[in-house]
Amino acid sequence: MREVFQQELREVQDRLVEIAGLVVISIENATQAFNNSDVSLADTVIADDNKIDELTVLLDELAIQILARQQPVARDLRIVVSTLRISASLERMGDMSEHIAQLARYRFPDKVVPKGLRSTFAEMGRQDVIIATKLAELLKTQRLELADEILKEDDLVDELHASVFEKVLGESWKGQVVDTVDATLASRYHERFADHAVSIAKKVQYLATGDWAPEA
């Protein structure tokens, strides 16, 4: 039984790594679609999000089956329950990529953000890609220093997020109303993307150290 359980846990882990890999691709493509107003790539992100959603549902079903069949307790139980939370966060990260891609799509053929903010969003996008890449690696290797790195990278995203609002609320801002709306939403989506990664990283940390990750 124990061996079967370990095998099932590996299957769960493999699937989390697979979904995280798709999330990396989704934020890479979303960032590129956003920066280059690439509608066709935006459509790819939107279609790929359906795949992430499907895989998440299947993974949740597997986790529930493991709970039913293996009746894990103590740390094993917390690992399986964590899977449900991690998959929910990955699913939301895919949604954020989709939202970012959709902004590019809505505004086409116009650019989705005006010149003055393009480098900031290019940087936010790069940060989100770095974070997602480290997250996929963390889920695969369980190397906890990656969790620390994700937390630090998230600080940079928060700074960029704050700088977007400084910019649009500053006197030199010449953007149209639509630019202000887009910048506000895009910044929020990028920030939430990173937040979900932090939430997952903390869960992996807590599991490894024997504590339990609070949601708040």
1 near a second copy (CB under 8 A): no
How far CA 156 is from CA of 61, 104, 115, 180, in Å, comes to 36, 23, 21, 22
What secondary structure, in 3-state letters, does 155-188 show?
HHHHHHHHHHHHHHHCCCCCCCHHHHHHHHHHHH
- The pattern of x and - marking residues 177 through 196 that bind a second copy according to CB under 8 A reads xx-xx--xx--x--------
Report the C-alpha gap between 124 and 116 in whole angstroms.
14
Three-class SS state of 125: helix
Q: Supply 149's token pair.
A: 């790195």
Window 125 to 164, contacts with a second copy (CB under 8 A):
none
Pick from 165, 166, 208, 211: which binds a second copy (CB under 8 A)? 165
119 near a second copy (CB under 8 A): no
Pick from 17, 39, 62, 84: which binds a second copy (CB under 8 A)? 84
Interface with a second copy (CB under 8 A): 50, 53-54, 56-57, 60-61, 64, 67-68, 71, 73-74, 77-78, 81, 84-85, 87-88, 91, 165, 168-169, 173, 175, 177-178, 180-181, 184-185, 188, 212, 214-216
